Chain A
Amino acid sequence: MKKTIITVVGKDSVGIIAKVCTYLADNQINILDISQTIVQGYFNMMMIVEENNCTKEFKVYAGELEKLGEEIGVSIRVQHEEIFNQMHRI
């Protein structure tokens, strides 16, 4: 089962998580884990999600999420989990 990592980085403001979560819920993308931290004054959020029931192709919803990020003034990246596993786990 492929998992996807969504990262949101930007200036903190009201409703960032709500907007991202709404998009995910609307597209049947299940959130497995959320964590967040502040790095050098910037809001950093990571979500691990599962897209099994999502009807949209990866590049379509990744593109839409990035666009959503632009609208709310944060940077959203969508990446398959494997790149992080490869780099940080032997």
Chain B
Amino acid sequence: MININEVIETNKMILEENLDVRTITLGISLLDCTGGTLEEVCDKIYKKITTTAKDLVKTGQDIEREYGIPIVNKRISITPISLVGGSVCKSSDDFVKIAKVLDKAAKEVGVNFIGGYSALVSKGMTQADEYLIRSIPKALAETEMVCSSVNVGSTKTGINMDAVKLIGEIILETAELTKENDSLGCAKFVVFCNAPDDNPFMAGAFHGVTEADAIINVGVSGPGVVKRALEQVRGANFEVLCETIKKTAFKVTRVGQLVAQEASKRLGIPFGIIDLSLAPTPAVGDSVGEILEEIGLEYAGAPGTTAALALLNDQVKKGGVMASSYVGGLSGAFIPVSEDQRMIDAVEANALSLEKLEAMTCVCSVGLDMIAIPGDTKATTISGIIADEMAIGMVNQKTTAVRVIPAKGKSVGDSVEFGGLLGYAPVMKVNPYSCDAFINRGGRIPAPIHSFKN
């Protein structure tokens, strides 16, 4: 039988160390929502979401109550809208209408976000894909809950550089349209290489075409728990360090597994995956940067950071895989800047640069995340940053992503304030030299060879 010390340990994790289940994300296929007219498609989408997800929020709250574990977000991911609306949307504005329906449906069922205003264009763009991508700035400016993503590359297909070029412009336009709110629209948009079909985390969640009609995916978190556990092994060698992270990740993930199974049972929707992620929040003591410091760095970004992050990421996976029957999504440590107080501090101390962050993304999930850059950054420069990150994903057969926020009217030294889980971000310096000629070539980068690994 459970003993008092185990009970105290679990409750300490929850009450003092910010252990939570970050999200229950209900994936819903909208592939059966096609129709002859835009209105018909919108009706079907609204009905499908509001019926399938009607009990999601309540079920999440019941589980929170009964097990005493906070479930921070309840979210929905849907089939990429470029596929669903492709036959009826004849312009970007038509797609914006669907975005508004998604927003309305999300509000109706009470979720925090709905993801899947997306297009998968890793090799080429259809006309519908292009309309959707061009509609993103307006869609994100005119909705609250909708999150958008575009997959522009993969290890098997290479990188669609036409899409990368277009997205540089789209990100700037999104920043412009939402400049009243510190360019918040850009925080709801992410560009991927090797995007997973079952990611429960925003802004990049969508319900892949390989998935069942509806599915429950759960994202766990717990940087604070790992940090506290590591405080107990200060000065110990790497073996002890790694074992401690692994054991902690196991415990954290078990809670996610329990919540996923319960939610699945109560909603009558199959359990998909657990996403084993250390997802920070701006709350003190809920930071991945702090773990890196506890491992032995003065600041995240100091020499040794990439190695520390690599071991952290790997041990989280090793501990988590054993704790869950199915693992998927992005699974790894997230290193967003704005959502992590110690990462913000590292940037402000000039310890952490965009280039170092890029290097760090080679060994962890997911990519350049929630980084504010000067508002006057050129579209081609943004495309260049994206292309670099996509290349890392393509060559290393991993998911990478970029979520940057050109802060309109602001430059290095200023900061942008998003509030809530998104936090605030100091504007970071971007390499000022041009990559215009590179981005303007057009076409696509071929898929890489997977022999002669060097």
The reply on A36 being an interface residue by CB < 8 A is yes
User: Which residues of chain B in 1-32 are interfacial with respect to chain A, using CB atoms and an 8 Å cutoff?
Assistant: 1-11
Is B4 a contact of A37 with CB atoms below 8 Å? yes
Residue B67 contacts which of A33, A36, A80 (CB distance < 8 angstroms)?
A80
Residues of A near B11 (CB, < 8 A) are: 7, 9, 77
Number of A-B contacts (CB under 8 A): 64
Does chain A have a CB within 8 A of B251?
Answer: yes
Look across to chain B and name the residue whose beta carbon is closest to the beta carbon of A2: B66
- Given A7-B11, A58-B66, A79-B68, the answer on whether A84 and B2 have CB atoms closer than 8 Å is yes
State A84–B3 Cα separation when bound (angstroms).
9
- Give A77 to B10 CA distance when docked, in angstroms: 12
Given the interface contacts A33-B1, A37-B4, A77-B11, does A87 sit within 8 Å of B65 by beta carbon? no
B344 in contact (CB, < 8 A): no
Interface residue ranges of A1-23 to B (CB < 8 Å): 5, 7, 9
Q: Given A80-B66, A83-B69, does the pair A46, B255 have CB atoms closer than 8 Å?
A: no
Decide: B8 and A86 in contact? CB cutoff 8 A.
Answer: no
A88 near B10 with CB under 8 A, answer yes
Cα–Cα, bound, A9→B14 (Å): 14
Residues of chain B within 8 A (CB-CB) of A79 are 66-68
Are B7 and A84 in contact, with the CB atoms below 8 A? yes
The verdict on B79 contacting chain A, using a C-beta distance below 8 Å, is: no
| Most chain A CB neighbours (cut-off 10 Å) among B7, B67, B69, B255 | B7
**Distance (Å) between the CB of A63 and the closest chain B CB?**
9
Interface majority SS (helix, strand, loop, mixed), chain A: strand
> Are B2 and A5 closer than 8 Å at their CB atoms?
yes
A83-B255, A83-B258 given; A46·B4 CB < 8 A: yes
If over half of B's interface residues share one DSSP class (helix, strand or loop), that class is named, otherwise mixed; here it is: helix
Identify which of residues 24-82 in chain A touch chain B, using a CB-to-CB cut-off of 8 Å. 33, 35-37, 39, 44, 46, 48, 58-59, 62, 77-82
A86 vs B67: C-alpha distance in the bound complex, in angstroms? Answer: 11
- Is B257 part of the contact surface with A, judged by Cβ < 8 Å? yes
Q: How far is the CB of B231 from chain A (nearest CB, A)?
A: 16
Determine the chain B residues whose CB is within 8 A of the CB of A85 once the complex forms. Answer: 2
Report which B residues bind A (CB closer than 8 A): 1-11, 62, 65-69, 251, 254-255, 257-258
The 7 closest A-B pairs by CB, nearest first: A79-B68, A83-B67, A46-B4, A86-B254, A86-B258, A88-B6, A84-B2
Question: Can you name 30 A-B residue pairings with CB atoms under 8 Å?
Answer: A5-B2, A5-B7, A7-B11, A9-B11, A36-B4, A37-B4, A37-B8, A39-B8, A46-B4, A48-B2, A58-B66, A59-B62, A59-B65, A59-B66, A77-B11, A77-B68, A78-B68, A79-B66, A80-B66, A80-B67, A82-B67, A82-B258, A83-B67, A83-B255, A84-B2, A84-B7, A85-B2, A86-B255, A88-B2, A88-B10
A interface residues (Cβ-Cβ under 8 A, vs B): 5, 7, 9, 33, 35-37, 39, 44, 46, 48, 58-59, 62, 77-88
Beyond A37-B5, A58-B66, 9 additional contacts (C-beta under 8 Å) are: A7-B7, A7-B11, A48-B1, A62-B65, A79-B68, A84-B7, A86-B258, A87-B255, A88-B10
